[in-house]
Amino acid sequence: ISRLENVTDAQDAREVNLKSKQGIKELFLKWNGEIVTNVLEFLQPHLSLEQLTIKGYTGTRFPTWLGDSSFSRMVLLRLEDCENCTSLPPLGQLPLLKDLTIEGMGGVEQVGPEFYGEGCSKPFPSLENLLFADMIEWKDWFSYGVEPFTRLSKLCINRCNKLLGELPKHLPSLKELVIKKCPQLVVTLPPNLGRLPESETQTGNSIDLSCPLTYLSISDISIPASLCNPNVADEVNVLANATSNHLKSLTRLHVENIPKLTSLPLWFIQGLTGLQELKIEYCSELASFVAE
């Protein structure tokens, strides 16, 4: 359903009565301009809906039905270019949701409990693929009391220029991690290397790379000086063995446009025993693969 900005009377949306249309499995709702009235609240689909895309919605908040756990068959959800919404709906309550895309939501500054669902005991129990993109004001991703994302296998974060908070730490099923154009994020040494000076590790803005990934792609992000600093090599060497074990699962590695990357630690190179594809581009200061 497109051109929803032309619906000026909420009664028209109510009369469509999507809630009774049990046969609709996929629904695409699109706005191409400013809304006159909030019709989205009255476009609630039937609980049997499996795939939902909301694009160009210009309201300031999402309807109460979005994220309700009664939508127990929903497996795919896309929220695109909903620029005026300042918070995300409680999508963690959707029990079978597998694919989630959140893109172009310029009004969101933080992701926190409202995203997981207040009081939800096991948020995102089925989620496998998660994409955030073009979140131009997003700064913080707050942790949750329980461990969400236990089945998440692919996480992509693209063009989130202000994101600097920590990402979720416990991602036991993660296989693919893609981070592009997030210059405030700092990829640090793994958390178990905490003996390094805080000024070097910058643990406040870290990404835990200790999960057994098969694909890692990073571009336009920051790295601490300690990653390639030979002066800390001896201190890192003993603790790095644990990290190398995780690196053995990596088969594809893409690194692009990391300005301060001058070399790669020896323990990192030695850990890539299963690597099948290596791509390094636009790292202008990279002089060698191994820090001497």
Q: What is the pLDDT of residues 6-42, one digit of tens each?
A: 777 777 778 888 899 999 999 999 998 777 667 888 8
What whole-number distance in Å separates Cα of residue 188 and Cα of residue 202?
7
pLDDT band at 124 (very low <50, low <70, confident <90, very high): very high
pLDDT band at 223 (very low <50, low <70, confident <90, very high): confident
Element (H, E) at 271: helix 266-271
Q: In Å, how far are 84, 88, 117, 226 from 27, measured between CA atoms?
A: 22, 19, 23, 49
Of 250 and 155, more confident: 155
- Burial (CB < 10 A; 0-12, 13-18, 19+), residue 50, is middle
The pLDDT of residue 38: 75
| pLDDT for residue 90 is more than 90 | yes
What whole-number distance in Å separates Cα of residue 108 and Cα of residue 12?
30
Q: Which residue has the tokens 């706005």?
A: 31
Q: In this structure, are residues 156 and 131 in contact, taking their beta carbons and an 8 Å threshold? A: yes
The pLDDT of residue 63: 92
DSSP for residue 37: S
Read off the amino acid at residue 178.
V
The pLDDT of residue 271: 76
Element (H, E) at 246: helix 233-247
Of 223 and 171, more confident: 171
- pTM score, whole prediction: 0.85
Phi and psi for 56 in degrees, rounded to 5?
A: 75, 15
Give the pLDDT mean for 238-262.
73
Q: In this structure, are residues 280 and 257 in contact, taking their beta carbons and an 8 Å threshold? A: no
Q: In this structure, are residues 93 and 67 in contact, taking their beta carbons and an 8 Å threshold? A: yes
- CA geometry: angle at 122 spanning 117 and 124, to 5°? 70
Return the SS3 of 158: strand
What is the number of other CB atoms lying within 10 angstroms of the CB of residue 139?
16
pLDDT band at 233 (very low <50, low <70, confident <90, very high): very low
| pLDDT for residue 64 is more than 50 | yes
